[in-house]
Chain A
Amino acid sequence: MRTIAMIRRILTELLRDKRTLALMFAAPLLILTLLYFLFQGAGNTSADLAVQSVDDDLVSAMQVDGLHIHKIPERQTTDQSSNYTERIIRDNDYAGFLCQNDGSLHLTLAGADEAQSGLILESLKAAQAELSGKAASATIASQAAALTQLESTVAALTSRLQTLSGGRTGTSTGLPQASIDAKGGEPTNRPSMATTPSSVTVDYLYGSKHSTFFDTLVPIMMGFVIFFFVFLISGISLLHERATGTLARLLATPIRRHEIVNGYPIGYGIVAIVQTAVVVGYTIVVFKTQILGNVWNVLLLNLMIAGTALTLGLLVSAFAATEFQMMQFIPIVVIPQIFFSGIIPVASMPGWLRTIAHVTPLYWGSRAMSDVVEKGANLAQIAPNLGVLLTFILVFLGLNILAMRKYRRI
């Protein structure tokens, strides 16, 4: 009964606080929308490539979306400047420069944007695959020779690109030269032109070719934004109660400590249910996120994540004297959790980091969420993770009741 009075009071207060309501419901949607556009755009890379004296067949085979090919006139024999290629790229802000000297192709990449370099290399590979199919039927000696060289060029360039992306440091020219002469390239043991498959069909077990990084991010970020805002608001509200003296006043009534401590998770839990429903509904309707698993499992998981955030927020607020001190817990308690939530694969982390990952609630929550959304995991498969989250909630609740002893011993 007293718990009900607590819940009713918490909800009434919250409904009157329009700003906090807006923070709880609008802010998560804002962040998710921003992410949506940020990572949706990542697939639309465009690159400018300059070509010089390259076979028309190859150039037309290289045409892909986003790649703009600019044919530039033959180099003047009088122009002997050593930085000719560099100048062309720099003056026109091209991503690459491809030229052909007799049978050999020479590609220079600006290397400033890996997505653009990747696009150029991919289109070269695609052109290779297409032309090799033609080459198999109507072998044109010169073209075949050029293609063999092209193949090794591409292979070398790919490995070169990987090296670049590993530790790209600015060279003295500012334009890293990813150029390899195909004639001087290492010998390749590729199968002969005739047996090279001319087309590749890609099937996806999960997701589709339209999947972007955002689809991977959605289940993780959904859990994170819910965790973040519920943590902040529940923690600050209990802190406010301590700071204004109403908590001490409450404890001068016959209320039990656990009735106070339970009132908060239940009151804010009701808000969290609504918030979770709004966030999940938004991702489904607006982002058209495909949830392979049961949507109720998604809601349940989000609710459990909200529960850990709630109880953790309440607990942490016991160690803060002001709202500002509460904010100081965010970089310690909340931000590190995002690193363990699956954006960076935890399996590739060093052992001691993996141990830390296992004590963060979001690690368990986000993994299960990704499994449900992307792999269609059922309730039985996520049950262990739900169990861990429930344990977190119960431990935090128990500690909260103990922390309340600071105010009243009974």
Chain B
Amino acid sequence: MTKGTMPHTLESPTIKVSHLVQGYGKRVILRNIDCEVRHGEIVALIRPSGSGKITLISTIVGMMPPKSGTVQVLGTPMPDRTMLGNIGFMAQTDALYTNLSGLENLRFFASLQHVRGKHFNDAALRAASVVHLDHALSNRVSHYSGGMKRRLSMAIALIGDPPILILDEPTVGIDPQLRRELWNELHRIADQGRSILLTTHVMADAAQTDTLLMIRQGRAIAQGSPTAVKNLYQATSIEDAFIEAGKEQDANHSND
């Protein structure tokens, strides 16, 4: 066991980011980020473009070691390759093999995530039906529409029922009806005690979550339940709250 590994219980957070400073070379992207995702919790990351969302996610999935601070997944400090088996990941760009069918893509990624054999067929069908893709699984991905590719990426993240889901912009290109069904499914997953960390631009999505984390200029500017964040800034919508929080940050920053 690596130093700093704590025994993991249901009470302890599935993802714990403390005092994280991260960047590329001398450029600092994230300054002192703290956040936690607990069992059964859905956390949304809201941010303007280029505020380090990808950096935070990359650090959590262990693509880059923290410059300082720590990131723990299920009590294990990242980067740790074996922990990736517990994370269902959906990247912002659809990373799919277009020459393969939907089912072949699912099978390939599933076998990398230790889902195989007789479990695979059940798991693949279940994941595909959640995103309404079960009828198109035998088609090649090159014939898929943008929305279908997005849904296949989601199915790949869902397969094998990992305890943690990290979804980067999961609702882009998905029609309203499917979006509603998707949220029902995400709530159902959270009710099973699994954790979801997602990023979104869509404030309606943000309102569905348990906790919001707003990152701006590399700092967390607001954190809490959607209602709490709205109340804090006396805003009627999450969007307004985000803008107010930004103004406050600018004001504080100019005082520095």
A250 neighbours in B (Cβ, 8 Å): 95, 112
Cα of A16 to Cα of B84 in the assembled complex, Å? 30
In chain B, what residue has the closest Cβ to A246?
Answer: B95
Interface residue from A9, A252, A256, A407 paired with B89 (Cβ < 8 Å): A252
Tell whether A245 pairs with B91 under 8 Å between CB atoms, given A12-B100, A13-B99, A253-B85: yes
- B100 and A9 form a contact (CB under 8 A): yes
- A9 and B97 form a contact (CB under 8 A): yes
Interface residue from A1, A13, A244, A252 paired with B61 (Cβ < 8 Å): A252
- B93 and A255 form a contact (CB under 8 A): no
> Is B195 an interface residue, CB under 8 A from the partner?
no
Stretch of B9-17, B33-41, B62-70, B210-218 at the chain-chain interface: B62-70
In chain A, what residue has the closest Cβ to B91?
Answer: A249
Cα of A34 to Cα of B15 in the assembled complex, Å? 63
Interface residue from B91, B93, B98, B111 paired with A252 (Cβ < 8 Å): B91
- Give chain A nearest CB distance to B160 CB in angstroms: 11
Give B44-64 as 1s and 0s: 1 = Cβ < 8 Å from A's Cβ atoms: 000000000000000001111
Tell whether A254 pairs with B91 under 8 Å between CB atoms, given A12-B104, A248-B63, A408-B79: no
> Is B81 an interface residue, CB under 8 A from the partner?
yes
| Secondary structure type dominating chain A contacts | loop
- A407 and B63 form a contact (CB under 8 A): yes
- Give chain A nearest CB distance to B113 CB in angstroms: 6
A12 neighbours in B (Cβ, 8 Å): 99-100, 104
- B100 and A252 form a contact (CB under 8 A): no
- Give chain B nearest CB distance to A154 CB in angstroms: 66
- Give chain B nearest CB distance to A21 CB in angstroms: 12
Interface residue from A2, A245, A410 paired with B112 (Cβ < 8 Å): A2
Cα of A408 to Cα of B108 in the assembled complex, Å? 20
Question: What is the size category of the interface that chain B forms with chain A?
Answer: 20 to 34
Cα of A254 to Cα of B109 in the assembled complex, Å? 10
- B99 and A253 form a contact (CB under 8 A): no
- Give chain B nearest CB distance to A407 CB in angstroms: 7
B104 neighbours in A (Cβ, 8 Å): 9, 12
Number of interface residues of A (CB under 8 A): 25
Interface residue from B62, B82, B93, B140 paired with A245 (Cβ < 8 Å): B93
Tell whether A248 pairs with B81 under 8 Å between CB atoms, given A254-B113, A409-B64: no
Interface residue from A5, A244, A245, A252 paired with B63 (Cβ < 8 Å): A252
Q: Within A220-259, which residues are at the interface with B (CB < 8 Å)?
A: 244-246, 248-256
A13 neighbours in B (Cβ, 8 Å): 97, 99-100
Interface residue from B79, B97, B98, B108 paired with A410 (Cβ < 8 Å): B79
- B111 and A2 form a contact (CB under 8 A): yes
Cα of A246 to Cα of B94 in the assembled complex, Å? 8
- B65 and A254 form a contact (CB under 8 A): no
> Is A17 an interface residue, CB under 8 A from the partner?
yes
- A249 and B89 form a contact (CB under 8 A): yes
> Is B247 an interface residue, CB under 8 A from the partner?
no
- Give chain A nearest CB distance to B169 CB in angstroms: 13
> Is B80 an interface residue, CB under 8 A from the partner?
yes
Cα of A255 to Cα of B62 in the assembled complex, Å? 12
A246 neighbours in B (Cβ, 8 Å): 95-97
A16 neighbours in B (Cβ, 8 Å): 99-100, 140
Cα of A410 to Cα of B80 in the assembled complex, Å? 7
> Is B87 an interface residue, CB under 8 A from the partner?
yes
- Give chain B nearest CB distance to A18 CB in angstroms: 11
B108 neighbours in A (Cβ, 8 Å): 5, 8-9
Cα of A410 to Cα of B81 in the assembled complex, Å? 7
Give A160-197 as 1s and 0s: 1 = Cβ < 8 Å from B's Cβ atoms: 00000000000000000000000000000000000000
The 4 closest A-B pairs by CB, nearest first: A249-B95, A245-B95, A5-B111, A253-B112
Q: 12 extra interchain contacts, Cβ-Cβ under 8 A, other than A246-B95, A408-B62?
A: A5-B108, A9-B100, A13-B99, A13-B100, A244-B96, A249-B109, A251-B63, A254-B85, A254-B113, A408-B79, A409-B62, A410-B79
Can you list 11 A-B contacts (CB < 8 A)?
A: A12-B100, A244-B95, A245-B91, A246-B95, A248-B63, A248-B91, A252-B63, A253-B113, A408-B63, A408-B79, A409-B62
